[in-house]
Amino acid sequence: MQRQLLHAPVEKLGDVELVLGRTGDLVGPAELFRLMARLTPGVQSFADLAQELAALVEEENLRRGGSIRRTTRAVRPREDGNVALREPVCRRPAPYQAVLMMRSSLAVVVLLAGIVTTAGAAELTPRAAAAFDQYVRLTDAKLGAEPSFLRIDRLPPSRRADVHRALSGGEVHIERVASRGADIPDALLHPWVGTVFGPGASVSQAVALLQHYDRHAGIYTPSVARSRLLSRSGDHFRVYLRFAMTRGITVVVNSEHSAVFARPAPDRAQSRIVSTRIAEVEDPNTPAEREKPVGRDSGYLWRLNTYWRMLERGGGVYLQCESITLTRDIPTGLGWLIRPFITSIPRDTLAFTLETTRHELSRLGAKQP
Protein backbone atom coordinates (compact mmCIF):
# COMPACT_ATOMS: atom_id res chain seq x y z
CA MET A 1 0.00 0.00 0.00
CA GLN A 2 2.91 2.36 0.74
CA ARG A 3 4.22 1.85 -2.80
CA GLN A 4 0.79 2.66 -4.24
CA LEU A 5 0.66 5.96 -2.36
CA LEU A 6 4.20 7.02 -3.22
CA HIS A 7 4.45 8.47 -6.71
CA ALA A 8 7.68 8.75 -8.68
CA PRO A 9 8.54 12.36 -7.67
CA VAL A 10 8.36 11.31 -4.01
CA GLU A 11 10.40 8.12 -4.38
CA LYS A 12 13.25 10.10 -5.93
CA LEU A 13 13.62 12.08 -2.70
CA GLY A 14 14.85 9.12 -0.70
CA ASP A 15 14.14 5.72 0.71
CA VAL A 16 10.46 4.87 1.19
CA GLU A 17 11.00 3.65 4.75
CA LEU A 18 12.84 6.87 5.57
CA VAL A 19 9.97 8.99 4.25
CA LEU A 20 7.28 7.07 6.09
CA GLY A 21 9.24 6.20 9.22
CA ARG A 22 11.46 9.16 10.08
CA THR A 23 9.35 12.13 9.11
CA GLY A 24 6.81 11.64 11.89
CA ASP A 25 9.57 12.53 14.39
CA LEU A 26 10.68 15.61 12.45
CA VAL A 27 7.54 17.31 11.16
CA GLY A 28 4.07 17.18 12.68
CA PRO A 29 0.70 17.56 10.92
CA ALA A 30 0.29 21.17 12.08
CA GLU A 31 3.64 22.12 10.54
CA LEU A 32 2.76 20.37 7.29
CA PHE A 33 -0.52 22.20 6.89
CA ARG A 34 1.04 25.51 7.90
CA LEU A 35 3.51 25.12 5.03
CA MET A 36 0.76 23.96 2.67
CA ALA A 37 -1.28 27.08 3.48
CA ARG A 38 1.57 29.25 2.18
CA LEU A 39 1.52 27.72 -1.29
CA THR A 40 0.41 29.77 -4.24
CA PRO A 41 -3.38 29.19 -4.66
CA GLY A 42 -4.35 27.05 -7.62
CA VAL A 43 -1.03 25.24 -8.19
CA GLN A 44 -1.87 22.48 -10.67
CA SER A 45 1.48 21.04 -11.82
CA PHE A 46 2.99 18.46 -9.48
CA ALA A 47 6.50 19.56 -10.52
CA ASP A 48 5.73 23.20 -9.71
CA LEU A 49 4.18 22.12 -6.43
CA ALA A 50 7.27 20.15 -5.42
CA GLN A 51 9.56 23.04 -6.39
CA GLU A 52 7.56 25.56 -4.39
CA LEU A 53 7.41 23.24 -1.38
CA ALA A 54 11.18 22.75 -1.54
CA ALA A 55 11.68 26.52 -1.43
CA LEU A 56 9.32 26.84 1.54
CA VAL A 57 11.06 24.08 3.51
CA GLU A 58 14.48 25.60 2.78
CA GLU A 59 13.22 29.04 3.85
CA GLU A 60 11.85 27.54 7.07
CA ASN A 61 15.13 25.77 7.77
CA LEU A 62 17.11 28.98 7.24
CA ARG A 63 14.70 30.94 9.43
CA ARG A 64 15.41 28.52 12.25
CA GLY A 65 19.13 28.85 11.72
CA GLY A 66 19.45 25.23 10.68
CA SER A 67 18.49 24.00 14.14
CA ILE A 68 15.67 21.94 15.53
CA ARG A 69 14.21 22.07 19.00
CA ARG A 70 14.15 18.90 21.02
CA THR A 71 10.76 17.79 22.27
CA THR A 72 12.20 16.36 25.51
CA ARG A 73 13.63 18.41 28.36
CA ALA A 74 16.90 17.92 30.20
CA VAL A 75 16.62 16.82 33.83
CA ARG A 76 18.68 18.40 36.62
CA PRO A 77 18.60 17.58 40.36
CA ARG A 78 17.24 20.07 42.86
CA GLU A 79 18.53 20.74 46.34
CA ASP A 80 15.46 19.14 47.92
CA GLY A 81 16.21 15.86 46.19
CA ASN A 82 13.48 16.20 43.57
CA VAL A 83 14.11 16.87 39.92
CA ALA A 84 13.32 19.87 37.76
CA LEU A 85 12.89 20.07 34.01
CA ARG A 86 15.01 22.55 32.14
CA GLU A 87 13.71 24.37 29.10
CA PRO A 88 13.96 22.50 25.77
CA VAL A 89 17.51 22.50 24.42
CA CYS A 90 18.25 23.77 20.91
CA ARG A 91 20.96 21.88 19.09
CA ARG A 92 22.34 22.43 15.63
CA PRO A 93 22.26 19.13 13.78
CA ALA A 94 25.29 17.82 11.97
CA PRO A 95 25.35 18.63 8.23
CA TYR A 96 24.10 15.16 7.30
CA GLN A 97 21.28 15.41 9.86
CA ALA A 98 20.28 18.81 8.51
CA VAL A 99 20.12 17.42 4.97
CA LEU A 100 18.17 14.41 6.24
CA MET A 101 15.70 16.68 7.99
CA MET A 102 15.35 18.75 4.83
CA ARG A 103 14.78 15.73 2.61
CA SER A 104 12.40 14.10 5.06
CA SER A 105 10.36 17.27 5.57
CA LEU A 106 10.07 17.86 1.85
CA ALA A 107 9.27 14.22 1.18
CA VAL A 108 6.42 14.06 3.65
CA VAL A 109 4.93 17.36 2.46
CA VAL A 110 5.13 16.28 -1.19
CA LEU A 111 3.70 12.92 -0.13
CA LEU A 112 0.75 14.79 1.37
CA ALA A 113 0.32 16.81 -1.82
CA GLY A 114 0.51 13.67 -3.94
CA ILE A 115 -2.13 11.95 -1.83
CA VAL A 116 -4.40 14.98 -1.96
CA THR A 117 -4.12 15.35 -5.74
CA THR A 118 -4.41 11.69 -6.70
CA ALA A 119 -4.70 9.57 -3.53
CA GLY A 120 -5.24 6.51 -5.62
CA ALA A 121 -8.62 6.05 -7.25
CA ALA A 122 -11.39 5.95 -4.68
CA GLU A 123 -14.74 4.39 -5.52
CA LEU A 124 -18.22 5.23 -4.30
CA THR A 125 -19.57 1.81 -3.41
CA PRO A 126 -23.27 0.86 -3.69
CA ARG A 127 -23.55 0.34 0.06
CA ALA A 128 -22.04 3.77 0.78
CA ALA A 129 -24.52 5.40 -1.62
CA ALA A 130 -27.42 3.45 -0.05
CA ALA A 131 -26.34 4.45 3.47
CA PHE A 132 -26.14 8.09 2.42
CA ASP A 133 -29.64 7.94 0.91
CA GLN A 134 -30.93 6.43 4.16
CA TYR A 135 -29.32 9.23 6.17
CA VAL A 136 -30.94 11.80 3.88
CA ARG A 137 -34.36 10.21 4.49
CA LEU A 138 -33.77 10.41 8.25
CA THR A 139 -32.73 14.05 7.90
CA ASP A 140 -35.82 14.92 5.85
CA ALA A 141 -38.04 13.33 8.50
CA LYS A 142 -36.15 15.06 11.32
CA LEU A 143 -36.41 18.50 9.74
CA GLY A 144 -40.12 18.02 9.15
CA ALA A 145 -40.72 17.20 12.82
CA GLU A 146 -38.56 19.87 14.47
CA PRO A 147 -40.52 22.03 16.94
CA SER A 148 -38.78 25.29 16.02
CA PHE A 149 -37.82 26.72 12.64
CA LEU A 150 -34.22 27.54 13.64
CA ARG A 151 -31.94 25.27 15.64
CA ILE A 152 -30.58 28.16 17.69
CA ASP A 153 -34.06 28.72 19.13
CA ARG A 154 -33.82 25.32 20.82
CA LEU A 155 -30.66 26.21 22.74
CA PRO A 156 -30.81 26.78 26.52
CA PRO A 157 -31.77 30.41 27.30
CA SER A 158 -28.31 31.56 28.43
CA ARG A 159 -26.58 29.89 25.49
CA ARG A 160 -29.22 31.18 23.06
CA ALA A 161 -28.66 34.77 24.22
CA ASP A 162 -24.89 34.44 23.70
CA VAL A 163 -25.36 33.05 20.20
CA HIS A 164 -27.80 35.81 19.22
CA ARG A 165 -25.32 38.45 20.41
CA ALA A 166 -22.55 36.83 18.40
CA LEU A 167 -24.74 36.65 15.28
CA SER A 168 -25.74 40.30 15.67
CA GLY A 169 -22.03 41.10 15.77
CA GLY A 170 -21.48 39.45 12.39
CA GLU A 171 -20.16 36.08 13.53
CA VAL A 172 -20.95 32.69 12.01
CA HIS A 173 -22.36 30.08 14.39
CA ILE A 174 -21.45 26.62 13.14
CA GLU A 175 -21.51 23.17 14.69
CA ARG A 176 -21.39 19.54 13.71
CA VAL A 177 -24.73 17.75 13.64
CA ALA A 178 -24.88 14.75 15.97
CA SER A 179 -27.31 12.25 14.49
CA ARG A 180 -27.80 8.53 14.21
CA GLY A 181 -26.97 6.93 10.90
CA ALA A 182 -23.85 9.07 10.37
CA ASP A 183 -21.53 6.04 10.14
CA ILE A 184 -21.26 5.29 6.43
CA PRO A 185 -19.43 2.15 5.19
CA ASP A 186 -16.56 2.80 2.76
CA ALA A 187 -17.01 6.60 3.03
CA LEU A 188 -17.22 9.55 5.41
CA LEU A 189 -20.28 11.67 6.19
CA HIS A 190 -19.84 15.32 7.15
CA PRO A 191 -23.04 16.82 8.64
CA TRP A 192 -22.71 20.52 9.62
CA VAL A 193 -25.16 23.30 10.37
CA GLY A 194 -24.46 27.01 10.50
CA THR A 195 -26.36 30.25 11.08
CA VAL A 196 -25.75 33.92 10.26
CA PHE A 197 -27.75 37.15 10.57
CA GLY A 198 -28.14 39.68 7.75
CA PRO A 199 -29.04 43.06 9.28
CA GLY A 200 -31.51 45.21 7.39
CA ALA A 201 -32.30 42.49 4.84
CA SER A 202 -35.61 40.77 4.16
CA VAL A 203 -36.48 37.14 3.60
CA SER A 204 -37.49 37.99 0.04
CA GLN A 205 -34.01 39.37 -0.63
CA ALA A 206 -32.45 36.22 0.81
CA VAL A 207 -34.56 33.99 -1.43
CA ALA A 208 -33.80 36.10 -4.50
CA LEU A 209 -30.07 35.94 -3.77
CA LEU A 210 -30.03 32.16 -3.42
CA GLN A 211 -32.17 31.70 -6.54
CA HIS A 212 -30.00 33.91 -8.73
CA TYR A 213 -27.79 31.00 -9.79
CA ASP A 214 -26.30 32.70 -12.82
CA ARG A 215 -24.60 35.13 -10.42
CA HIS A 216 -23.31 32.57 -7.90
CA ALA A 217 -19.87 32.32 -9.53
CA GLY A 218 -19.43 36.06 -9.06
CA ILE A 219 -20.80 36.10 -5.52
CA TYR A 220 -19.24 32.95 -4.08
CA THR A 221 -15.88 33.09 -5.86
CA PRO A 222 -13.42 31.35 -5.53
CA SER A 223 -15.40 28.45 -4.03
CA VAL A 224 -17.80 28.53 -7.00
CA ALA A 225 -15.84 28.89 -10.24
CA ARG A 226 -18.81 28.61 -12.66
CA SER A 227 -22.58 28.67 -12.24
CA ARG A 228 -25.53 28.39 -14.58
CA LEU A 229 -29.28 27.95 -14.30
CA LEU A 230 -30.22 24.92 -16.39
CA SER A 231 -33.99 25.12 -16.04
CA ARG A 232 -36.77 26.46 -13.81
CA SER A 233 -40.34 25.39 -13.21
CA GLY A 234 -41.97 27.56 -10.57
CA ASP A 235 -39.97 27.07 -7.37
CA HIS A 236 -38.04 24.09 -8.75
CA PHE A 237 -34.57 24.83 -10.14
CA ARG A 238 -31.97 22.71 -11.94
CA VAL A 239 -28.51 24.26 -11.72
CA TYR A 240 -24.90 23.64 -12.69
CA LEU A 241 -22.06 24.61 -10.35
CA ARG A 242 -18.31 24.13 -10.69
CA PHE A 243 -16.66 23.98 -7.27
CA ALA A 244 -12.97 24.67 -6.66
CA MET A 245 -11.70 23.35 -3.31
CA THR A 246 -8.26 24.68 -2.45
CA ARG A 247 -5.90 23.55 0.31
CA GLY A 248 -2.49 24.29 -1.19
CA ILE A 249 -3.58 22.37 -4.28
CA THR A 250 -6.98 22.68 -5.95
CA VAL A 251 -9.61 19.98 -6.51
CA VAL A 252 -12.26 20.96 -9.09
CA VAL A 253 -15.63 19.25 -9.60
CA ASN A 254 -18.55 19.78 -11.96
CA SER A 255 -21.91 19.33 -10.28
CA GLU A 256 -25.61 19.50 -11.00
CA HIS A 257 -28.29 20.11 -8.38
CA SER A 258 -32.04 20.08 -7.92
CA ALA A 259 -33.35 22.89 -5.71
CA VAL A 260 -36.88 23.32 -4.37
CA PHE A 261 -37.92 26.49 -2.50
CA ALA A 262 -41.00 27.06 -0.34
CA ARG A 263 -42.58 29.96 1.62
CA PRO A 264 -44.50 28.36 4.52
CA ALA A 265 -45.26 31.83 5.99
CA PRO A 266 -44.71 35.48 5.00
CA ASP A 267 -41.76 35.85 7.39
CA ARG A 268 -39.92 32.67 6.41
CA ALA A 269 -38.67 30.52 3.54
CA GLN A 270 -36.83 27.26 3.11
CA SER A 271 -35.12 25.22 0.41
CA ARG A 272 -33.87 21.69 -0.16
CA ILE A 273 -30.94 21.43 -2.60
CA VAL A 274 -29.77 17.98 -3.66
CA SER A 275 -26.80 17.07 -5.85
CA THR A 276 -27.81 14.91 -8.80
CA ARG A 277 -24.40 14.55 -10.46
CA ILE A 278 -20.81 15.24 -9.29
CA ALA A 279 -17.71 14.59 -11.40
CA GLU A 280 -14.14 15.54 -10.58
CA VAL A 281 -12.32 17.49 -13.30
CA GLU A 282 -8.81 16.52 -14.34
CA ASP A 283 -6.52 19.26 -15.71
CA PRO A 284 -9.20 21.97 -15.30
CA ASN A 285 -9.07 25.08 -17.48
CA THR A 286 -6.59 23.51 -19.91
CA PRO A 287 -7.01 21.98 -23.39
CA ALA A 288 -6.59 18.56 -21.73
CA GLU A 289 -9.50 19.10 -19.32
CA ARG A 290 -11.73 16.06 -18.85
CA GLU A 291 -14.07 14.60 -16.26
CA LYS A 292 -13.11 11.52 -14.30
CA PRO A 293 -15.72 8.73 -14.12
CA VAL A 294 -18.49 9.63 -11.69
CA GLY A 295 -17.87 7.94 -8.35
CA ARG A 296 -14.39 6.80 -9.36
CA ASP A 297 -12.06 9.70 -8.64
CA SER A 298 -10.13 11.20 -5.72
CA GLY A 299 -13.32 11.08 -3.65
CA TYR A 300 -13.24 14.54 -2.09
CA LEU A 301 -16.87 15.24 -3.01
CA TRP A 302 -19.35 12.51 -3.91
CA ARG A 303 -22.63 13.92 -2.57
CA LEU A 304 -23.80 17.31 -1.30
CA ASN A 305 -27.22 18.17 0.13
CA THR A 306 -28.05 21.52 1.69
CA TYR A 307 -31.12 22.66 3.59
CA TRP A 308 -31.66 26.41 3.94
CA ARG A 309 -34.03 28.12 6.35
CA MET A 310 -34.58 31.89 6.35
CA LEU A 311 -36.47 33.79 9.04
CA GLU A 312 -37.12 37.55 9.06
CA ARG A 313 -37.12 39.09 12.52
CA GLY A 314 -35.19 41.50 14.73
CA GLY A 315 -34.51 43.98 11.95
CA GLY A 316 -32.98 41.51 9.54
CA VAL A 317 -33.01 37.92 8.36
CA TYR A 318 -31.58 34.82 10.00
CA LEU A 319 -30.15 32.23 7.61
CA GLN A 320 -29.56 28.65 8.65
CA CYS A 321 -27.88 26.14 6.35
CA GLU A 322 -27.47 22.45 7.13
CA SER A 323 -25.10 20.64 4.79
CA ILE A 324 -24.55 16.90 4.34
CA THR A 325 -21.41 15.97 2.42
CA LEU A 326 -20.18 12.51 1.44
CA THR A 327 -16.48 11.94 0.75
CA ARG A 328 -14.01 9.08 0.53
CA ASP A 329 -12.87 7.25 3.64
CA ILE A 330 -9.39 7.68 5.11
CA PRO A 331 -6.77 5.18 3.87
CA THR A 332 -5.57 2.91 6.68
CA GLY A 333 -2.61 4.36 8.57
CA LEU A 334 -2.84 7.82 7.01
CA GLY A 335 -5.56 9.37 9.14
CA TRP A 336 -3.18 11.83 10.85
CA LEU A 337 -2.03 13.04 7.44
CA ILE A 338 -5.19 13.14 5.30
CA ARG A 339 -8.07 13.53 7.76
CA PRO A 340 -7.49 17.28 8.37
CA PHE A 341 -7.73 17.95 4.61
CA ILE A 342 -10.84 15.85 4.00
CA THR A 343 -12.73 16.92 7.12
CA SER A 344 -11.91 20.63 6.83
CA ILE A 345 -13.38 21.15 3.35
CA PRO A 346 -17.10 20.63 4.20
CA ARG A 347 -16.98 22.82 7.31
CA ASP A 348 -14.89 25.59 5.77
CA THR A 349 -17.02 25.64 2.62
CA LEU A 350 -20.20 26.01 4.69
CA ALA A 351 -18.65 28.79 6.78
CA PHE A 352 -17.50 30.62 3.64
CA THR A 353 -20.93 30.27 2.01
CA LEU A 354 -22.74 31.62 5.07
CA GLU A 355 -20.31 34.48 5.62
CA THR A 356 -20.49 35.49 1.95
CA THR A 357 -24.31 35.35 1.99
CA ARG A 358 -24.43 37.44 5.15
CA HIS A 359 -22.09 40.02 3.65
CA GLU A 360 -24.13 40.26 0.45
CA LEU A 361 -27.43 40.57 2.33
CA SER A 362 -25.98 43.19 4.66
CA ARG A 363 -24.94 45.19 1.61
CA LEU A 364 -28.42 44.90 0.15
CA GLY A 365 -30.00 45.81 3.49
CA ALA A 366 -27.89 48.93 3.78
CA LYS A 367 -29.28 50.18 0.44
CA GLN A 368 -32.90 50.03 1.65
CA PRO A 369 -34.40 53.38 2.63
Helix, strand, coil % in the chain, rounded to nearest 5: 40, 30, 30
* Same domain, residue pair 220 and 303: yes
Q: CB under 8 Å, gap of 24 or more: what pairs does 19-22 form?
A: 19/104, 19/107, 19/108, 19/111, 22/100, 22/104
pLDDT at 91: 44
Cβ(152)–Cβ(175) below 8 Å: no
* Same domain, residue pair 363 and 218: yes
pLDDT at 2: 38
Last residue of a domain, one of 85, 117, 149: 117
Backbone angles phi, psi at 15, to 5 degrees: -65, 140
d(CA 334, CA 331): 6
Task: Give the ranges where the chain is alpha helix by DSSP (H).
Answer: 2-5, 8-11, 16-26, 29-37, 46-63, 95-117, 126-145, 157-168, 203-211, 216-219, 335-367
Cβ(36)–Cβ(340) below 8 Å: no
* Same domain, residue pair 136 and 30: no
DSSP, collapsed to helix, strand or coil, labels residue 75 as strand
Tell me whether residue 226 is exposed, middle or buried, using C-beta atoms within 10 angstroms of its C-beta: 0 to 12, 13 to 18, 19 or more. middle
DSSP tag of 72: S
Strands 236-247 and 224-233: antiparallel
* Alpha-carbon radius of gyration of the chain: 24
* Same domain, residue pair 185 and 245: yes
Last residue of a domain, one of 117, 136, 171: 117
* Same domain, residue pair 86 and 204: no
Domain containing 155 — which CATH number? 3.30.530.20
Strands 296-297 and 303-313: unpaired
* Same domain, residue pair 315 and 354: yes
> How far, in whole angstroms, is CA 36 from its chain's centroid?
14
How many domains does one find in the chain? 2
d(CA 369, CA 250): 42
Side chain identity, residue 131: A
d(CA 158, CA 169): 17
pLDDT at 85: 39
* Same domain, residue pair 137 and 22: no
d(CA 145, CA 279): 34
pLDDT at 81: 41
pLDDT at 33: 47
Cβ(329)–Cβ(187) below 8 Å: yes
* Same domain, residue pair 45 and 128: no
Average pLDDT of each block of 10 consecutive residues along the chain (369 residues)?
A: 38 38 42 50 49 60 52 41 40 46 50 51 92 94 89 93 94 88 87 96 96 97 96 98 83 96 97 98 94 92 97 96 93 64 87 96 76
DSSP tag of 43: B
* Same domain, residue pair 75 and 138: no
d(CA 88, CA 228): 57
pLDDT at 25: 41
d(CA 175, CA 216): 25
Q: Which domain holds residue 333?
A: 122-367
